[in-house]
Copies of this chain bind each other. A is one copy, B any other.
Amino acid sequence: MDRKNVADLENEGPGTGTLGKAMSVLEAVATADRPQRFTDILQTVRQPRGTLHRLLGHLVDEGLLVQRGDLSYEPGLRLLKLAYSSWSGNQFRDVAEPHLLNLHELTGETVHLGILRETEIIYVDKVESRQTVRMSSQIGKASPAYCTGIGKAALSSLAQSELQRIAAKMHFIPFTDRTHRSATSLLAEIEEIRREGHAFDREEHEAEICCVAAPIVVPEHELVAGISVTGPSYRVTMTQLAIWAADVRNSARQIEEEVRIRLGPGRGGG
C-alpha cells in the first residue's frame, strides 16, 4: 500500500516519474483557456527547458497535444476520443441511465449523476430539462462537494472520520450568500442530511438554481456518488423539491441495488 493518494497531489504534483511530468504538462495545456506557447507552459510547469521541449514533442507524437502554426499547443482530439471510450464503457453510468430518464420523465427537470472524488463531484451523466436550450454536456465537469446537492449527499454517506479528513481539505469559496463558509456549518448540515436521507442545494453554488439529491453508495466498488433533480428557483420551489425528494431517494436506492446485481460481488460483467 505505498500507492500515493491521488488527491494529495491533486493540484500540480511532481508526479510519478516520466508519466507524471507528462500528465502535468498535459493538464496545464488542457486547463488553460487559450493555446499555450512554449514559454507559457514553461512557467506553469516548472521543468528545465530541454526536458519540457522533449516532453511536448512526445505528447504531440501521441496525439494528446497538437501544435499549431504559430507554435502554440492545444489539446489534441485523442484525449476526447479516449474519454468517450471510457465514458461510454462505464458500467455504473450505464446501469444508472434509465433511472435518470425515469426521474426526468417524472419531474420534467434536469437530472444529474455525479461521483465523489475527494473534495469534488465529477458529473458523469445528465438528462436535460425539456426547456433547456444548450446541450452543454458538462460531463466531466468538476464542482466542489460542499455547495452542491450531490456533493453534500455523497459526503453524508461517508464514515465520520473520512468525512472530516476530506472536509479539512476543502477551500470554502462563497459562490452565493447561502454558500457554506466553513467546515463547521457544512458538517452540521451533513448531520441533518444523514437523518433525512437527501440533501438540498438552496442556491448555494449558483444563484437561482436549486436541487434535491440523494446519495448512492456501492461499497463493493468503493464508489460514493449521487443523483439529483435540478431546476431554476422561480419554477422549482423548495416545497416541490421536498416532494420530489422521495422519488430521488427511491431512484438512488434502485441504482444501488441494480449495480450490486449487475456488477455483482463475483465477476464484474455487463
Contacts and interface: CB of A to CB of B under 8 A. Distances in A.
Count of this chain's copies in the oligomeric assembly: 2
Interface string A79-100: 1111111111111000000000
B89 A32 contact: yes
Contacts of A124: 77, 80
B91 A34 contact: yes
Contact of A33 (B20, B72, B89, B117): B89
A72 B89 CA distance: 15
A3 B139 contact: no
A56 B69 CA distance: 35
A6 B84 contact: no
A268 B62 contact: no
Interface in A59-76: 59-64, 68-70, 72, 74-76
Interface size class of A (residues with CB under 8 A): 35 or more
Nearest to A29: B86
B122 A80 contact: yes
Contact of A61 (B6, B22, B76): B6
Nearest to A34: B270
A211 interface: no
Interface stretch (A130-138, A145-153, A162-170, A250-258): A130-138
Contact of A79 (B61, B63, B86, B221): B86
